[in-house]
Amino acid sequence: METERILLAHGSGGELSHELVASLFVKVFTNSFLDPLDDMAVLRVGENRLAFTTDSYVVTPVFFPGGDIGKLAVCGTVNDLAMGGALPLFLSAGFIIEEGFPFASLEKIVISMQKTAAEAGVKIVTGDTKVVNRGGADQIFINTAGIGLIPDGVGISGSLARPGDRILLSGSIGDHGVAILSSREGLQFSTTLESDCAPLNGLVASMLEVSPKIHCLRDPTRGGLSSTLNELARQSGVGIWVEEQRIPIKEEVRGACELLGLDPLILANEGKLVAVVAPEAAAKILQRMQAHPLGKDAAIIGEVQEEPRGKVVLRTSIGSTRLMDMIVGEPLPRIC
């Protein structure tokens, strides 16, 4: 590690996050379940394959347009399971609450979690609560872990992209990031945009109904579309080529990014997915995605090639090409 202390950028989902995970956590914890570095570990229990994942949520503010930290905590873990093609079943919920946090707000968050869990078809079956001194945390942090069942015939991993595969995106990017920014003190600007926060397991199940030839799935959360595509390119050892004009971006997001000097390709999303699928299955999978409420704006945005291995190339709207890199710094802390 080049730095001797942890920086906010180590939690950005970008280059420093990956460096931290690779140089410390994977190095020390290495085992065959962890090392693939997918969104969840695949565990075989008897004849069944279980998907197991965990994530922590520290978003600020805790209530934002289109959601809250509780909804985010359920959707995030459900989506990590879904990105392995698993059927999410059970969640745990751990709360770290700062002394003085309003009970009414906590009740609103808990009710939101239950409502979202019911929407996703999962049950919250265990949990934990800790209260820390005033100033020991920022209002409330939530950790959720989840278990799901991977159906027979489903094999999805970030390492399975192959040349010729098509890259599908389920909808417009950057909505969550802009919704969070619009509600932050000192950054308020006029927009009706809401977070895209949503459980994606129903969309994934619908896609798998029409074809099992889905090689990779990933939800572009921290680090946005740019970091997600780079993760897949590195894991699979392939080149990914993306057409800028095909990437759905709402005008509100473009406007906010121009105002704040941000790149929509690095903004977090909490209700979108990237799918890498076999070329012969791309059209029917896209059609099924577009028939689902959470995939109605889905598009094929690019394809996998042999070269440049481990890199992502963007063909811009003016006909040039440039590399899409992972973010290095931390332009948007506490986004999820």
Question: If phi over 0 gives left and psi between -120 and 50 gives alpha, with beta otherwise, what is residue 329?
Answer: beta
Amino acid at 99: E
pLDDT of residue 90: 98
- Of 257, 287, 289, 284, residue with least CA distance to 272: 289
The total of other beta-carbon atoms located within 10 Å of residue 183's CB is: 17
Amino acid at 59: V
- Taking only the tens of pLDDT, the chain with its 336 residues reads 556 899 988 887 888 888 999 999 999 999 999 999 999 999 999 999 999 999 999 999 999 999 999 999 999 999 999 999 999 999 999 999 999 999 999 999 999 999 999 999 999 999 999 999 999 999 999 999 999 999 999 999 999 999 999 999 999 999 999 999 988 876 666 678 999 999 999 999 999 999 999 999 999 999 999 999 999 999 999 999 999 999 999 999 999 999 889 999 999 999 999 999 999 999 999 999 999 999 999 999 999 999 999 999 999 989 899 999 887 777 778 889
CA distance linking residue 20 with residue 29, whole number of Å? 13
